[in-house]
Amino acid sequence: MSITPSATLESPLTSTWGPTNPYHDGPLVMSGYASGLWPHDSQPQFWSKYQVWEWLQQVMDIHQIDASSLPFQNFDMDGHQLCSLNYHDFIRAAGSVGHILYNSITELKSGGQYHLDIGQLELKHENLCPFPDVSYPPGEIYDPSVQSLAPNISPTPSSPEIKRSFSRGHQVKKHNPRGTHLWEFIRDILLNPERNPGLIKWEDRTEGVFRFLKSEAVAQLWGKKKNNSSMTYEKLSRAMRYYYKREILERVDGRRLVYKFGRNARGWREAEK
DNA sequence: AGGATATTTCCTGTTT
DNA sequence: CAAACAGGAAATATCC
């Protein structure tokens, strides 16, 4: 599997994503996925090149790794090709973050279960991470600044256009304050069990019930995303409660720290119902 | 410039 | 008692 040195370096996806990105080298580079359109309902094998990039961006977001340090050009491929890469391919293509990406895609491939005999589906034990990861402190507040991973893969001065605005088909609809809405942020963490340091856990996957395991850590991560270091679970939960009225979340009383996706929350289901 | 949307911040009271 | 949960109000941040 060669990493395809990207012949089509600047494909159609290189428009620009926000000429107004106020924080150039800021801690965050903003996520780039269109709200509600995250293709989690499809198998990675079927992702388009664009979706592969969205996945890359999301994994970077969740790990608080500056996405500009990731050579997206090395992933100029569709989901089928992505799924054929082995661990070393990822290391070659992404350096030290390669193993995170590998774990993520492996998780998605096996977790996403079923057919598509592309020849993988090896290892499917989420508890058996084949590679030692940067494991976040088990019971500590996950310190986002611990980018112990690929802190520098040469900050590629040539601004890697992770950007979006793929005028293809739909997308770019509403407006959301900086990238993702809170519920999408939560959903995406849930959908990335790979290196999710036990922040949130599914209680009932098919029903959309989940529980915060490390509420304050999630709040910190959310705050990090919104560039708000004073975010707390107290405040985050207020925002969560506002979702009840909008039916993005359903109330789950009795169980503390437990929420459930409502009819207006999209993209969290396994296959679709 | 201004309205709409989505939180963020604060707070008082209740429940677990 | 220490967390969570509940919502109302008002302040903010972004978007378009």
Note the pLDDT tens digit of each residue in A90-134: 999 998 889 989 988 987 887 643 322 222 222 233 332 333 333
From the CA of A230 to the C1' of B9: give the distance in Å.
10
Contact in structure between A63 and A69 (CB atoms under 8 Å):
no
Q: What's the pLDDT at A208?
A: 97
Q: What's the pLDDT at A77?
A: 85
Residue A176: pLDDT band by 50, 70, 90 thresholds?
Answer: low
Total residues found in chain A within this entry: 273
For the four alpha carbons of A70, A96, A53 and A28, in that order, the dihedral sign comes to: negative
Tell me which range, A5-14, A26-35, A109-118, is most confidently predicted by mean pLDDT: A109-118
Which nucleotide is the nearest neighbour of A245, by CA and C1'? C7
* HSE value, Cβ hemisphere, 13 Å, CA-based, for A78: 6
From the CA of A163 to the C1' of B12: give the distance in Å.
45
Which nucleotide is the nearest neighbour of A175, by CA and C1'? C15
What does strand B contact on the protein, if contact means CB under 7 A?
A: A 174, 176-177, 181-183, 222, 226, 228, 230-231, 234-236, 238-239, 242, 246, 254, 256
Closest residue to C4 by CA to C1' distance?
Answer: A256
Domains for chain A: give ranges and CATH numbers.
Answer: 44-261 (1.10.10.10)
Helix (H, G, I), strand (E, B) or coil at A111: helix
Q: What is the mean pLDDT of residues A12-20?
A: 32
From the CA of A2 to the C1' of C16: give the distance in Å.
44
Output the furthest CA–CA distance in chain A (Å, rounded): 56
| A257 Cβ within 7 A of any nucleic strand C atom | yes
From the CA of A172 to the C1' of C8: give the distance in Å.
33
- Looking at per-residue pLDDT, the higher value among A231 and A78 belongs to A231
Contact in structure between A30 and A18 (CB atoms under 8 Å):
yes
From the CA of A174 to the C1' of C15: give the distance in Å.
8
Residue A171: pLDDT band by 50, 70, 90 thresholds?
Answer: very low
A220 vs A10: CA distance, rounded Å: 35
Nucleotides of B under 7 A from a protein CB: 5-11, 16
Of A49-53, A182-186, A241-245, the one with minimum mean pLDDT is A49-53
Q: What's the pLDDT at A108?
A: 81
